[in-house]
């Protein structure tokens, strides 16, 4: 008795159930989505579940994107069947997840994700239901395996535009939350009480920004107002999940617009605290460098070229690095060791927020390290740098710094000419360096000549595709 009383005080947000609405069912004449536009594997999953006596629909972002004449990247199915019942219907399926139990049905390289209809959590947590649903003290959902009806599931989804259920058998759309209206009005609207829904899962704030940027929608006022005040809730999200969400934010082809929205809603600082501080101290330089990097990323994606998180994170974090290098150098370390120590510390701090895998942090450090090496061009150093696998990424990063207004005494132009010059022209360019001081140059030191064969700079991979 006392336990339930204390729980009612601890979790007041659970007292507000989602309002029930009469669903709007749109026939094929009332919408533009057609069965033949849906993945045939998604259709087959739905039909097989329906033939087994379960409710099943294609749902979520794929329905939204097709209505907006966009190409879905994947297909989701929602059903009344439990994960175990779905697994029993498909030999090519497996149950995954603990926080949210799902079923992946495999068709070669395509995976159809099948989720059981979810329901609201019970008003009190007790030992009997803790394996199905649980929250932490701030209201964030830790486990969500309470099953319900189609109506329940619609109210449990995040945004109205993601709560559209398409039945390929009848070609009807079931709309429980006025999602079709919001698509027509081009707005992102959270289902239910916005403050409660963000507390249940703070990542929804990032999703709101991502969808607004991707679809060129506005975030509806009541859904937008709580975001700046609740942005700090992202501190409680696991760093691995935030890394995945950051990739979705910046590798979807709308990175520059996403960055502006993150700043507008105070969501950039929880993701990149050191960079946000540098941006506040020097908004012109830091802002220009980050925006130029993101614009280039969007351009490469639009052109179908590969991109890598390593170069992207190197650019997002760079504005915070030079001041740290200067601090380390003030303790007496030479430039390159100072760069390496400062880079190590900065990346370690960032990984506490977004768990960047080592396969990306290593090339990030190499790109930064190259910024100290590129000014050192005398003797055979220039040719050795050209042979470095990270030369192209480091060179592109140098041009990015210059595009933000950083003064390098023409270093980017020199390296551009050096790559295009023949051997005799390169030797002449190196001799000219001895007639003037090199920015950041190291003391001259004879080195043994190596026997490695010279490789053209054009063989280096693009900075964004390392």
> Which residues form the catalytic set?
74, 76, 158
Do the beta carbons of residue 201 and residue 100 sit within 8 Å? no
| DSSP bridge pairs for 102 | 96
* Spatial CB neighbours of 280, under 8 Å, sequence gap ≥ 6: none
- State the DSSP code for 75: E
3-state DSSP assignment of residue 72: coil
- State the DSSP code for 308: -
**147, 150, 152, 157: CA torsion to nearest 10:** 100
Return d(Cα 318, Cα 282) in angstroms, integer: 12
Element (H, E) at 155: helix 150-156
Signed CA dihedral, 438, 441, 446, 451: sign only: negative
- Beta strand pairing call for 102-107 and 110-116: antiparallel
Do the beta carbons of residue 83 and residue 96 sit within 8 Å? no
Return d(Cα 437, Cα 274) in angstroms, integer: 33
Q: What number of residues does the chain have?
A: 466
| DSSP bridge pairs for 25 | 174
* Spatial CB neighbours of 461, under 8 Å, sequence gap ≥ 6: 389, 392, 393
Return d(Cα 88, Cα 42) in angstroms, integer: 17
Which parts of 372-411 are beta strand (E)?
A: none
Phi, psi of 384 (to 5 degrees): -65, -35
Return d(Cα 311, Cα 368) in angstroms, integer: 10
């Amino acid at each position: 008795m006392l336990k339930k009383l204390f729980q009612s005080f601890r979790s007041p947000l659970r007292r507000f159930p989602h309002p029930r609405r009469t669903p709007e069912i749109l026939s094929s004449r009332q919408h533009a989505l057609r069965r033949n536009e849906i993945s045939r594997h998604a259709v087959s999953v739905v039909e097989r579940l329906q033939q087994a006596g379960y409710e099943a629909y294609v749902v979520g972002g794929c329905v939204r994107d097709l209505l907006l004449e966009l190409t879905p990247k994947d297909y989701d199915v929602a059903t009344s069947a439990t994960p175990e019942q779905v697994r029993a219907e498909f030999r090519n399926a497996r149950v995954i997840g603990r926080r949210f139990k799902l079923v992946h049905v495999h068709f070669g390289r395509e995976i159809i994700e099948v989720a059981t209809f979810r329901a609201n959590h019970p008003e009190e947590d007790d030992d009997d239901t803790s394996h199905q649903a649980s929250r932490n003290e701030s209201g964030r959902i830790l486990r969500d395996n309470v099953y319900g009806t189609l109506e329940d599931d619609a109210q449990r989804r995040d945004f109205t535009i993601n709560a559209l259920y398409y039945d390929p058998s009848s070609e009807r759309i079931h709309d429980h939350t006025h999602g079709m209206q919001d698509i027509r009005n081009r707005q992102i609207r959270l289902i239910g009480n916005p403050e409660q829904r963000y507390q249940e899962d703070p990542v929804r704030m990032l999703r709101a920004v991502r969808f607004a940027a991707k679809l060129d929608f506005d975030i509806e006022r009541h859904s937008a107002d709580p975001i700046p005040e609740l942005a700090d809730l992202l501190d409680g999200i696991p760093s691995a999940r935030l890394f995945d969400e950051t990739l979705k934010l910046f590798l979807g082809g709308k990175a520059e617009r996403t960055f502006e929205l993150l700043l507008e809603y105070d969501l950039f600082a929880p993701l990149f605290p050191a960079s946000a501080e540098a941006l506040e101290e020097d908004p012109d330089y830091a802002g220009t460098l980050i925006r130029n990097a993101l614009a280039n990323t969007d351009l490469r994606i639009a052109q179908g070229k590969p991109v890598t998180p390593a170069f992207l994170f190197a650019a997002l974090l760079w504005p915070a690095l030079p001041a740290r290098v200067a601090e380390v150098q003030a303790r007496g370390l030479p430039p390159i060791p100072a760069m390496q120590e400062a880079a190590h510390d900065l990346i370690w701090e960032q990984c506490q927020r977004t768990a960047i895998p080592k396969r990306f942090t290593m090339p990030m450090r190499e790109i930064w390290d190259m910024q100290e090496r590129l000014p050192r061009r005398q003797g055979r150093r220039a040719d050795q740098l050209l042979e470095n696998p990270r030369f192209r990424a480091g060179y592109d990063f140098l041009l990015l710094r210059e595009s933000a207004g950083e003064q390098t005494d023409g270093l980017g132009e020199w390296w551009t000419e050096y790559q295009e010059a023949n051997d005799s022209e390169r030797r002449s360019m190196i001799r000219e360096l001895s007639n003037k001081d090199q920015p950041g140059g190291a003391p001259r030191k004879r080195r043994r000549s190596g026997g490695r064969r010279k490789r053209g700079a054009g063989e280096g991979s693009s900075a964004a595709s390392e």
